[in-house]
Amino acid sequence: ETGVTQSPTHLIKTRGQQVTLRCSSQSGHNTVSWYQQALGQGPQFIFQYYREEENGRGNFPPRFSGLQFPNYSSELNVNALELDDSALYLCASSLPPSSYNEQFFGPGTRLTVL
Amino acid sequence: KNEVEQSPQNLTAQEGEFITINCSYSVGISALHWLQQHPGGGIVSLFMLSSGKKKHGRLIATINIQEKHSSLHITASHPRDSAVYICAVMGGAQKLVFGQGTRLTINP
């Protein structure tokens, strides 16, 4: 059983650019959630994908968008990057959305926007 | 006021000490998670609980639903326990709401 993986591990971009982050879910999991963690803060929920559809969204602008593929891997896209987008981006996979399904986290992608 | 508050924000202790980290929340929840985050970012789930108490090795988690409060205890602490411990609650919309984390440092 493989765990949750994310790529790339580190990324440096400049303001205005676009970025795509990737997440492969744990075997058997069809739900992926994305979180943004600013330095010294707890993670903030961006959105969740279940069976290729968005299934809930946090307080993030539309320039944060996502996709989930038939194999349940997922992408997070951020357009028009701003300095405040610098953060650790975490994805977590789980079984179908439920209060009692544990989420398994990937190692994160650290994004720096200059 | 944040929906999930942890205390203390930072905690330094000597090896062997008994550690308690507290979490209070202000929303109705269906489950509460305790997570561990090491430098570099990776998050590991320690406990998920909705009532009572759970124990795993030297770690104990308790929750009081009426008081909207949970505690994470570490017995016989060790330098390898040094990490950030995060409380997160599952409320409506199937999303986790996180506390700001408690940075724990255990000195040998």
| pLDDT for residue A40 | 86
Please state, rounded to an integer, the average pLDDT across all residues of chain B. Answer: 92
Is-cis flag, bond preceding A8, omega within 30?
Answer: yes
- Residue A2's pLDDT band (boundaries 50, 70, 90)? low
Q: Say how far apart CA B49 and CA B46 lie, in whole Å.
A: 10
Q: Say how far apart CA B70 and CA A56 lie, in whole Å.
A: 26
More confident: B69 or B39:
B69
Q: Say how far apart CA B52 and CA B74 lie, in whole Å.
A: 17
B95 CB neighbours in chain A (<8 A) are: 33, 45, 48, 56, 58
Predicted confidence (pLDDT) per residue in A74-97, tens digit: 999 999 999 999 999 999 998 877
Give yes or no for residue A1 having a pLDDT over 60: no
- Overall average pLDDT of the B92-102 stretch: 83
Q: How many residues does chain A have?
A: 114
- Overall average pLDDT of the B55-62 stretch: 96
Chain A, 1 to 30: residues with Cβ < 8 Å from chain B are none
Predicted confidence (pLDDT) per residue in A14-32, tens digit: 999 999 999 999 888 899 9
